[in-house]
Chain A
Amino acid sequence: MFAAIRIRWGRIPSAALAALAFVLAGCGEQPGYPPDLEYPARSDRLVLRVPTAQPAGPNEAGKLDAELAALDSLGGLTRDPRALPQSTRDQVGGLLADLFGSPAAPEVKDAPGFGRDTLAEGSRLYRRHCLQCHGLTGDGRGPTGQWIDPHPRDFRRGAFKFTTTGDGGKPRTADLARTLREGVKGTGMPAFGLLPEADREKLVAYVKFLSLRGQTEFAALRDAFEDEEFDRGRVARFIGEWAKAETTPTIAARPAPDDGTKQSPDHLAAVKRGYELFTAKGTTDCLTCHDDFGRRTTWRYDVWGTVVRPADLTAGGFKGGDRPEQLFHRIKDGIQPSGMPAHPSLKDDQVWDLVWFVRAAPFPRELPDDVRMKVYP
Chain B
Amino acid sequence: MPRWLHAWAVATVLVTLGLLILGQFVTSFRAGMADPVWPTEPWYLADNYKLDLGYLIEHTHRIAGFLVGGFVSVLALGIVATEPRKVARSMSIVLLLALLAFFGQFHRELIAQRDPAVVVKLPTTALGAMLASLLGVVGVLLTGWNQRASGLRALGVVTLVAVMIQGLLGGFRVRLDALFGPELAPIHGIFAQIVFCLLVSLASLTARPSGAAVAEGPRRILSRVSFLLVATLLVQLLWGALVRHRPDSLNQRLHLLTAFVAVGLGVWLIRAGLQLAKPRVKVVAHVLSALLLVQVALGVEAWMGKFGEEARAGRSLNAYLPEAEAVSVKQAGIRTAHTLVGTGVLATTVVFWLRVRRKATPQGYQLEQP
Contact = CB atoms under 8 A, between A and B. Distances in A.
Interface of A: 1-3, 5, 7, 9, 12, 16, 19, 23, 26-28, 31, 33-38, 60-62, 103, 127-129, 131-133, 135-136, 141-144, 146-149, 181-183, 188-195
B116 A143 contact: no
B115 to A, nearest CB: 8
B52 A143 contact: no
From B117, B119, B181, B218, residue with most partner A Cβ within 10 Å: B181
Residue with the greatest number of chain A CB neighbours at <10 A, chosen from B52, B228, B238, B324: B324
Chain B contact residues (Cβ within 8 angstroms of A): what range?
A: 35 or more
A36 B316 contact: yes
B213 to A, nearest CB: 15
Given A2-B218, A133-B33, A36 B318 contact: yes
A340 to B, nearest CB: 22
Contact of A143 (B176, B320, B327): B327
Q: Of A135, A182, A183, which is in contact with the most chain B CB atoms at under 10 Å from its CB?
A: A183
A195 B174 CA distance: 14
Nearest to B241: A23
B116 A62 contact: no
Given A19-B235, A131-B323, A190 B52 contact: no
Contacts of A16: 231, 235
A186 B246 CA distance: 28
Nearest to A181: B117
Contacts of A35: 318
B54 A147 contact: yes
A9 B231 CA distance: 12
Interface string B209-230: 0000000011001101100100
Nearest to A27: B183
Contacts of B35: 188
Contacts of B225: 5, 7
B220 to A, nearest CB: 8
Given A143-B326, A144-B54, A188-B36, A194 B217 contact: no
B268 to A, nearest CB: 9
B276 to A, nearest CB: 10
25 contacts: A2-B218, A2-B272, A19-B238, A23-B238, A28-B183, A62-B53, A127-B321, A129-B177, A143-B324, A143-B325, A143-B326, A144-B29, A144-B30, A144-B54, A147-B29, A147-B30, A147-B34, A147-B55, A181-B117, A182-B116, A188-B33, A188-B54, A191-B36, A193-B117, A193-B178
B179 A195 contact: yes
A191 B116 contact: yes
B319 interface: yes
Interface in B124-172: none
A129 B32 CA distance: 12
A132 to B, nearest CB: 6
Contacts of A148: 31, 34, 52, 54-55
Contact of A142 (B53, B228, B235, B324): B324
Given A1-B275, A149-B52, A182-B116, A194 B179 contact: yes
A133 B182 CA distance: 12
A182 B246 contact: no
Contacts of B330: none
Contacts of A191: 36, 116-117, 178
B335 to A, nearest CB: 12
Interface string B21-48: 0000000011111111000000000000
A37 B320 contact: yes
Nearest to B116: A191
B248 interface: yes
A12 B183 CA distance: 26
A143 B319 contact: no
B126 to A, nearest CB: 22
Chain A CB within 10 A, most for which of B35, B242, B323: B323
B116 A193 contact: yes
B50 interface: yes
A61 B182 CA distance: 22
Contacts of B272: 1-2
A189 B323 CA distance: 18
Contacts of B50: 149
A27 B182 CA distance: 11
Q: Which 8 A-B residue pairings sit nearest by Cβ, starting from the closest?
A: A147-B54, A190-B36, A191-B116, A194-B178, A2-B221, A128-B181, A192-B178, A144-B30
A293 to B, nearest CB: 21
Contacts of A131: 323-324
A296 B176 CA distance: 36
Nearest to A147: B54
Given A2-B218, A131-B324, A147-B29, 13 more contacts: A37-B318, A37-B321, A132-B182, A136-B324, A144-B29, A147-B57, A149-B51, A182-B116, A190-B177, A190-B178, A191-B36, A194-B178, A194-B179
A38 to B, nearest CB: 7
A23 B116 CA distance: 29
Contacts of A188: 33-36, 54-55
Contacts of A103: 321
B179 A141 contact: no
Interface string B46-85: 0000111111010000000000000000000000000000
Contacts of A147: 29-31, 34, 52-55, 57
Contacts of B319: 34, 36-38
A146 B57 CA distance: 14
Contacts of A36: 316, 318-319
Contact of B323 (A12, A62, A143, A183): A143
Contacts of A133: 33
A314 to B, nearest CB: 16
Contacts of A135: 324
Contacts of B52: 61, 147-149
Contacts of B57: 147
B31 A2 contact: no
A174 B62 CA distance: 35
Contacts of A61: 51-54
Contacts of B31: 144, 147-148
Nearest to A1: B272
